[in-house]
Amino acid sequence: MLPKATDRFGEFGGRYVPETLIPALDELEFAFDAAMSDPDFVRTYADLLRDYVGRPSPLSDAPRLSERVGAKVYLKREDLNHTGAHKINNALGQALLAMRMGKRRIIAETGAGQHGVAAATACARFGLECVVYMGETDMERQELNVFRMRLMGATVVPVSSGTRTLKDATTEAIRDWVTNVETTHYIIGSVVGPAPYPRMVRDLQSVIGREAREQMLARTGGLPTAVVACVGGGSNAMGIFHAFVDDAAVRLVGVEAAGEGLNTEHHSASLSRGRPGVLHGALSYLLQDKNGQVHPAHSISAGLDYPGVGPEHSFLHDSKRAEYAAVTDSAALEAFGVLSRLEGVIPALETSHAVAWLLDSVGTWSPSDKVLLCVSGRGDKDVAQVRAMQGNAR
Amino acid sequence: MASGLVTTSSNRIDERFTTLRATGRKALVCYVTAGHPDLSRSRELLQGLEDAGADVLEIGVPFSDPMADGPVIQASSQTALDAGMTFDGVLDLVEQARLKIPVVLFGYLNPFLAAGPSALGRMQAAGCDGLLITDLPVGADPALESSIGASDIAFIRLVAPTTPTERMQLIASHGSGFVYLISRLGVTGMQSAVAPELGATVARLRSVTTLPVCVGFGVTNAAQAAAITSIADGVVVGSAIVKAAGESVDSAVSLAKSLRSGIDQAT
């Protein structure tokens, strides 16, 4: 009954949840650990990742971007996964786990809609009931993903409380889980929430880094100088970082959303500007006021628009194993266009933050440096939003 | 804050339940959100509920993201936050109310953490008798739990219908004052009936603790309150009171009176 060592990353993480959920979290932790040491489960999951998701995802050279940046840039193409983002890796693993636990009702929260789409996809594939909570603001920003989810048979529930974004969708999903916990599994989409979620989601996403590490070694004969990924909750970043954490020479760079600027009230840079606090079941860096009320986040990208961050990122930040930067909405928007023009890869607005950091790093590299960038998702979902913004600017 | 003017002791909760047990009566525990519907009516409401016969008042410290609460309490929390309510604002309210009945602060961990390490001392100085933190289950943060347990503030713990009996024992042994039993799965909010398995859950809990058992979540009317207090030591009414308070202080007070008489007639 005492907290397990695996509950925490340094001081961060934990299980700060209503009592009702404790037995479900115990059950989930037990089931996950048992599943991951069951060869049948591991094989079933690996087969799905290969035959349904299309893994391994390619590692692409990026010659024109490399020339612009002044280092050799490699793109880990999670955008080429089925459903267009890394989120499917986690959703399929958790859906398999839910069935193993005998739960056939799935709930999920979503911001940009990529996790919602991934959960809806996994549920359609396995014939599970799927309910996705999504903030009304995000439903407007990501109309097409709402349609996709409904097309695959999911129920999308609009959340109109609070900021009407990912934070409130998560709160609403937790409320559903507290109510229906005996029949329902909650597929959290990022490395956030109470233990065991941050560790479980990381492990399910760690395939990104394992593949990329092998691909880098095979392609270049060595490890990358730096690994760069965007960070909202931080699942694509943890997924690609995890395989490199023990490679001390490899720089790990997480890029948060600076929104309208770090010195404004409108950003999502929990690590750069927050302080530790408890939200949605875990202790981690959090945007909050002096009274401990959660400060609304802002980002052009719905997937980064969250006031918290995964607890393992807080640990990597404080232990200085990883470095965290932040880029603005306008820099991300610019990078969205740059990667499209230079490499013929339209990145998600989330990914565009990592690209923007790279564009800003010109002059800091030597030509032999190798930078591995995680293209966490494709930008098709963002094209309408970007077009509308460019139209307004004209 | 004029600390020291109010003398208090966590024993006020224990004394209240001892008296109730001696006289064969059951407790009416009323929840209100501090600062709802506004500061002055919040003060009137506390006094009105005491006069209506409440035995314990749970005073909600509003939080921006109340994941265990339903729409009524969430909306009341947002109203209070919009009007500037803070942790120390709640303490001022408690201090000014000078209630004769015990007060339990009820809320979420983050505003309590933000209030700093002297929060427990300030609570006591303001006249608070107990603390209940929804998202601090037993074992979540042993150092913090020990510091609360070692204070003179009673540490009210929650037990859920999903809680295994062995864990009920662990919870009760790390709590004081009374145990708050959640009557059903879900968030706070009003329901039309009492969950059928409640009796069995109360019996499981009683088999591992002698602390008084109060049951809450979903209680709306006198008949439900009476049904619950026929098996428990007290009943907690939250959303129904808050909803009535949103209409008027008088309607919340008259609801409390009807709950009181429902409970008393049944016992």
Q: What is the pLDDT of residues B253-265, one digit of tens each?
A: 999 999 999 999 9
Sheet with A8-9, side-by-side order of all strands:
A8-9, A12-13, A282-286, A275-279
Quick check: B187 and A280 CB within 8 A? no
Task: Give the three-class secondary structure for A55.
Answer: coil
From the list B162, B101, B110, the residue with the least C-alpha distance to B130 is B101
Q: Which residues pair with B180 in a beta bridge?
A: B158, B214
Between CA B50 and CA B89 the distance in angstroms is 20
Q: Given this model, what pLDDT does residue B5 score?
A: 41
H or E stretch covering B133: strand B130-133
CA–CA gap between residue A332 and residue A261 (Å, rounded): 12
Q: Does A162 touch chain B (CB under 8 A)?
A: yes
Question: Is B58 designated active site?
Answer: yes
Q: What pLDDT score was predicted for residue A394?
A: 52
Nearest-by-Cβ selection for A294 from B64, B74, B141? B64
d(CA B226, CA B263): 5
Specify whether the CB–CB gap between B59 and B32 falls below 8 A. yes
**Mean local confidence (pLDDT), A115-144:** 95
In sequence order, what are the residues at sequence separation of 6 or more whose Cβ sits closer than 8 angstroms to the Cβ of residue A46? Answer: none
Q: Which of A1-15, A185-199, A342-356, B185-199 has the lowest mean pLDDT?
A: A1-15
| B136–A288 CB contact, under 8 Å | no
Peptide bond into A196 cis (omega under 30): yes
The residues with which B32 forms a beta bridge, in sequence order, are B59
**Which tokens hold the place of A85?**
């983002």
pLDDT greater than 60 at residue A121: yes
pLDDT in tens, B113-164: 999 999 999 999 999 999 999 999 999 999 999 999 999 999 999 999 999 9
Nearest C-alpha neighbor of A144 from the set A354, A297, A348, A337 = A348
Averaged pLDDT score across all residues of chain A? 95
Extract the tokens encoding B179: 């145990």
User: Which amino acid type is present at position B104?
Assistant: V
pLDDT for residue A105? 98
Q: In what order do the strands lie in the sheet with A323-328?
A: A59-61, A72-77, A370-375, A226-230, A251-259, A323-328
- CA A296 to CA A268: how far, in whole Å? 8
Q: Which of B198, B203, B200 is nearest to B216 (CA)?
A: B198
Confidence of residue A101 (pLDDT cuts 50, 70, 90): very high
Q: How far apart are CA A20 and CA B69, in angstroms?
A: 13
- Give the pLDDT of residue B3: 39
Tell me the pLDDT band of B2, cut-offs 50, 70 and 90: very low
Q: Is A44 an interface residue toward B (CB < 8 Å)? A: no
Backbone angles phi, psi at B28, to 5 degrees: -105, 115
| Per-residue pLDDT, A142 | 87
Cβ-nearest to A179 among B138, B164, B187: B187
Nearest Cα residue to B107 out of B176, B51, B188: B188
- Do residues B105 and B61 make contact, with C-beta atoms less than 8 angstroms apart? yes
Q: Does A164 touch chain B (CB under 8 A)?
A: no
pLDDT at A367: 96
Q: Is the pLDDT of residue B8 over 50?
A: no
Strand partners, A226: A251, A371
For residue A344, the SS3 value is coil
Task: Indicate the pairing of strand B130-133 with strand B179-182.
Answer: unpaired
Q: Tell whether A160 lies on the interface with B, counting CB pairs under 8 A.
A: no
If you average pLDDT over residues A175-200, what whole number do you get? 96
The pTM assigned to this predicted structure is 0.95
* Predicted pLDDT at A6: 57
Percent of chain A exceeding pLDDT 90 equals: 91
Per-residue pLDDT tens digits for B153-209:
999 999 999 999 999 999 999 999 999 999 988 887 777 777 888 999 999 999 999
Per the CB < 8 A criterion, the answer to whether A34 and A62 are in contact is no
Q: Quick one: which of B145, B265, B209 has its CA closest to B17?
A: B209
For B136, the closest of A16, A161, A294 (CB atoms) is A16
Secondary structure (H, E, C), A283-301? EEEECECCCCCECCCCCCC
ipTM value for the complex: 0.93
pLDDT category at B251 given cuts 50, 70, 90 is very high
Question: How sure is the predictor about B1, in pLDDT bands with cuts at 50, 70 and 90?
Answer: very low
Nearest residue to B154 (alpha-carbon basis) of B120, B122, B188: B120
| Type of residue numbered A337 | G
E-strand stretches of chain A: 8-9, 12-13, 59-61, 72-77, 105-110, 129-135, 155-159, 184-187, 226-230, 251-259, 275-279, 282-286, 323-328, 370-375
Cis peptide before A56 (omega within 30 of 0): yes
Average pLDDT score over residue span A201-224? 98
Instruction: Say how far apart CA B216 and CA B201 lie, in whole Å.
Output: 13
Rg (C-alpha) for chain A, rounded Å, is: 19
B235: alpha, beta or left? (left if phi > 0; alpha if psi -120 to 50): beta
pLDDT at A5: 52
pLDDT for res B187: 81
Q: In this predicted model, what pLDDT tens digit does every residue of B203-228 receive, in sequence order?
A: 999 999 999 999 998 899 999 999 99
- With b for 16 or more beta-carbon neighbours within 10 A and e for fewer, the A170-186 pattern comes to bbbbbbbbbbbbeebbb
Chain B contacts of A21, Cβ < 8 Å?
A: 162
Q: Which of A109-118, B56-65, B216-225 has the highest mean pLDDT?
A: B56-65
Residue A18 one-letter amino acid: P
- For residue A52, the 8-state DSSP code is I
Structure confidence at residue A44 (pLDDT):
98
Q: How far apart are CA A89 and CA A70, in angstroms?
A: 32
Kindly state whether A153 is in contact with chain B, defined as any CB-CB distance less than 8 angstroms.
Answer: no
Check CB contact under 8 Å for A19 and B140.
Answer: no
Q: How large is the average pLDDT for residues A32-41?
A: 98
Q: Which of residues 186-205 of B touch A (CB under 8 A)?
A: 186-187
- Helix pair angle (B249-266, B239-247), 10° resolution: 140
A290: Cβ contacts below 8 Å, ≥ 6 apart: B114
Q: Does residue A393 register a pLDDT over 70?
A: no
- B77 contacts in A (CB within 8 Å)? none
Q: Is residue B11 within 8 Å of B101, Cβ to Cβ?
A: no
